């Protein structure tokens, strides 16, 4: 297994940025519980951090190395700051474009790993859960599946209840910088619901979505609303809740459950 951290100049961000990686390229088979995962080529997973996090979170707090070994998955974990993985529409702040386009191109050039829709997933926790859903639906041609844990699906809270516990997690000026005019937010492409409807209208295939949230998490109501939306739209997804709060204990358990479910359904 190869692990490391790389720094490179990202044109979309107009700065040097980091990503960590885990590659199961020389795993000892006695470490693997289900060896059938090694009867295929490795899959790829872009795995996103949460608010205030960085690319090393899934290494030090999470179980990225264990997941790479057990499921034969190349895992790449980028840093984009507290950006919610959104594009601002100009060079220097195009975070979605970085995740979906520039980073995979750099990985392919550097490691010789082909990042095709058929073998690539995106996932994340909290802000990164929102980022995974949003990026997967913004770029459905890039990902077969999405794993979203404790997702910060805060669009409706920011637009309609900015002083609530969820809506007010960011300072007002920061919220507006990220999401723009609150009165236009629900109908904007920052809303995953808008992106999903766009995919349907264009006749494209949406990525399979695995969504999990803890029953003690204050983001539970917004995740249930998104679940209900997906059900009404006839989307292909799997949703589950379980005991837990907004913690690594929950994320480490459910990234394993999510990978298992996604690989069963898509690969």
Encode pLDDT of 168-204 as tens digits.
Answer: 888 889 889 999 999 999 999 999 999 999 999 999 9
The two counts, helices (H) then strands (E), for the chain are 11, 8
DSSP secondary-structure letter at 13? Answer: T
Q: What's the gap between Cα 55 and its chain centre?
A: 13
The model's confidence at residue 47, banded by pLDDT at 50, 70 and 90, is: very high
pTM passes above 0.95: yes
For the stretch 205-255, pLDDT in tens is: 999 999 999 999 999 999 999 999 999 999 999 999 999 999 999 999 999
Spacing of C-alpha 6 from chain mean position: 20
Predicted local confidence at residue 61, as pLDDT: 95
Say how far apart CA 219 and CA 150 lie, in whole Å: 7
Q: Which residues pair with 19 in a beta bridge?
A: 6, 78
pLDDT of res. 203: 97
Domains along the chain with CATH numbers: 2-266 (3.40.50.1820)
Q: Per residue in 152-165, pLDDT tens? A: 999 999 999 888 88
Contact 149, 123 (CB under 8 A): yes
Q: What does the alpha-carbon distance between residue 28 and residue 61 come to, in Å, rounded to a whole number?
A: 24
pLDDT of residue 73: 98
DSSP 38: G
12 contacts 85 by C-beta, under 8 angstroms = no
């Amino acid at each position: 297994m190869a692990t490391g951290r790389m720094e490179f100049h990202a044109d979309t961000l107009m700065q040097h940025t980091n990503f960590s990686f885990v590659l199961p390229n020389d795993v000892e088979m006695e470490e693997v519980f289900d060896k059938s995962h090694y009867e295929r080529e490795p899959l790829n997973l872009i795995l996103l951090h949460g608010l205030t996090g960085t690319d090393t979170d899934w290494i030090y707090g999470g179980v990225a190395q264990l997941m790479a070994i057990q499921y034969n998955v190349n895992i790449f974990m980028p840093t984009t700051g507290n950006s919610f993985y959104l594009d601002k529409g100009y060079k220097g702040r195009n975070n979605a474009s970085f995740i979906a386009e520039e980073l995979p191109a750099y990985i392919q050039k550097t490691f010789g790993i082909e990042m095709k829709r058929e073998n690539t997933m995106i996932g994340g926790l909290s802000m990164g859960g929102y980022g995974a859903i949003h990026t997967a639906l913004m770029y459905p041609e890039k990902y077969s599946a999405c794993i979203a844990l404790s997702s910060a699906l805060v669009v409706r809270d920011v637009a309609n209840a900015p002083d609530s516990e969820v809506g007010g997690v960011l300072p007002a000026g920061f919220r507006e910088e990220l999401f723009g005019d609150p009165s236009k937010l629900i109908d904007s492409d920052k809303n995953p619901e808008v992106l999903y409807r766009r995919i349907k209208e264009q006749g494209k295939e949406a990525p399979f979505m695995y969504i999990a949230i803890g029953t003690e998490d204050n983001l539970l109501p917004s995740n249930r609303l998104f679940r209900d939306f997906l059900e009404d739209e006839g989307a292909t997804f799997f949703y589950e809740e379980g005991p837990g709060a907004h913690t690594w204990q929950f994320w480490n358990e459910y990234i394993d459950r999510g990978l298992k479910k996604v690989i069963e359904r898509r690969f």
